Amino acid sequence: MNFATKSRRTQILVWLIWAMACLVFLALPEQAVVGAGPVIGLPALAGVVTHDPRNGPLFPWQPRHRWRKWAWRRYCALRQAHRRAVWTAHLARLALTGALTFAQLVDLVTHSQLRRHLGALPVLYALLEVLRVREIINRHCPTKAEVDHGTVAMVLVLNRLTMPLPLYQVADWLAQTVLVYTLGVPAAKFNDDRLERTLDAISQHRREIWQDVVHRTFVQAEIDLNLIFYDLTAFIVHGTYADSQHADFGFAHNTPMNKRKFKAGLNVAADGNIPADYELWSGRTADLATVQENMERLCRLLKRHGWPVEEVIIIGDRANVNDELALTYDDHGLRYLAGLQPQKKSHRELLVSVPEKQFYAHPLTEERGPNGYWGMPCQVVFEHEGRQVTHRGLVVLSGPMRTSLRRTRAAQLRELRQALRKVQAKIGQPYYRTVKSVQRRADTQLKQSPAGKFMQAQAYIDEEGQVRLRWWVDRYALWQAMQHDGRYLLVTNDWSLSPQRMLALYRQKDGVEKRIKVSKKDLKVSPIYLHKDERIEAMLLINMLALLAYSLLERQVRQGGLQMTTRRIIEKLQSLDVVETFCWDGSHLRRLVPVDEEQVALLTILAHVLAELRLPRWPHPLLPAGDIQPLALPPPREQQVVG
């Protein structure tokens, strides 16, 4: 209740009077009204009393507008503004007279400062928005949580690209970046529990998510799928995996045998080395066992994108073809080019059937001498289950490979001679006093050396009865090995390819090897400490999405005339930060650190690249049209944001 009077004593007195009046009327319901006329009985409580405005105000002493409260608030605001102006003028006078520097002045008005990392996040964020990664994931994995799965997945992809960290450190990294402004979600929401829930959710739709994002990439960047490289690699996992279908022991190049691992088959388009498809395999799976299923998956991918299967060439290493697979390529209508591991006698004879001198009449490259390449065409016959097919072959003599192999063998022979000299020097010592014991030590050195098959050693007793050791090079075995130095066999079912074209295409297969190196070194896929197969599948999807963005940005930048890798772009923009200053009056200011000329030029090119990717292409029913919302950059240095 509002009172006209503000005195506490007066308010209590008014309440008591009203209470006594109510008690009187309740105790005496009817009383005579004494007047000049007759007595009239009226009820004490006749009803609700109404007021007629024409008779004037009901409480004339109460003002219609609370002007005094408004005046008081206005006065307080003006007084505070006056004090602030006087204080500001005083500080300005001190600064102008030299008694107070501007640095001290800024320090006086500053409450706190935060430095948030910017770097290449605006570019990478906008690229992921062009690919609609968040939108596609949210369509397949809807949720009513405060933070959707698409946002969480995008944060994980950005972390893989810029600063790969374990899941429990992602929230701390996010709090130090400008993403907290763009996402509008506190960094504490991205704890490892939420990240793991997102991994569990997207693992159920990983295939659909990947297909939609890849289709968006192919459409917007107009990727050429005529050449596809395929390779298999292994990723080490740490931790306990009792019932895992993926983490297992097995053989893989450049990985220890005593570590659990899983394998991933990666298909890369030669146009920009863009990842087109991938599949997760158990660590025990052999490379050849994955090729046939990879063919079927590629055929479905090509048909989905409307690309003629017969126009595509799959290029792989020596683990991509044998007799059965050569027939399978023909059955699927796919063209292939791969190195052939000569397991059959007829295939091994193709490598050494031509003398080395005849190769020099058939150069494959313009280089001559030790760096040259030469090739002899041939025909390779494959047989499987009563079927036979003949494909085009090419025996390649590589000058660099030959030189490298012979230098390595020479070094191994030198090390073996030194080891045998040490055995010879120990003759007469314990365990080196008989012919049998010395021969046993020499044979051990021969078995341990990679060049032991090219050396012979014999222990004997000389004319004086002393135990001796001699060794010599097996020249015939060495000559046979030298016939294979630098030679390998290429095979294809495309008879239109010339020998020069076969070699040129096969040498381009290092594109998929470079992408695998990026995933392991820059994106740090391995080692993985997840303990569920579903999270392994989801984390591999996150890394493949990061690899896709990495490769696409590099391709578009190089097409724009700038020969830089994505890693170099991220490193060049690493110094960009946003400094946020909070003042004592509640206002705050965001400023971008100084940008050098090279960074400005790079950002200009990247802006043009992203603008080109945003151009609309032909529509697709799986990809609804929508505006791309780029990352909100902080205001320029000259502007001030007051909150």
Percent of the chain with pLDDT over 90: 54
Q: Locate all alpha helices (DSSP H) within 379-434, ordered by sequence.
A: 399-425
Mean pLDDT of the chain: 84
Per-residue model confidence (pLDDT) at position 487:
94
pLDDT at 592 over 60: yes
- The whole-number pLDDT of residue 65 equals 57
Q: In 570-625, where do the E strands start and end?
A: 577-583, 588-592
Mean pLDDT of 495-507: 95
Q: Which of 481-485, 530-534, 589-593 has the highest mean pLDDT?
A: 481-485
- Give me Rg for the CA atoms of the chain: 41
H helix count then E strand count, the chain: 22, 15
User: In this predicted structure, what is the pLDDT of residue 63?
Assistant: 58
pLDDT of the residue at 114: 78
pLDDT tens string 439-486: 999 999 999 999 999 999 999 999 888 999 999 999 999 999 999 999
Q: Where does the pLDDT of residue 64 fall: very low under 50, low under 70, confident under 90, or very high at 90 and above?
A: low
Is it the case that residue 543 has pLDDT exceeding 90?
yes
Residue 48 binned pLDDT confidence (cut-offs 50, 70, 90)? very low
Judged on CB neighbours under 10 Å (0-12, 13-18, 19+), 384 is: middle
User: Around 252, how many Cα atoms within 13 Å sit in the side-chain half-sphere?
Assistant: 24
Closest by CA position to 252, among listed 244, 242, 243, 262: 262
CA distance 152 to 167: 11
**In this model, does residue 22 exceed pLDDT 80?**
no
Predicted local confidence at residue 633, as pLDDT = 39
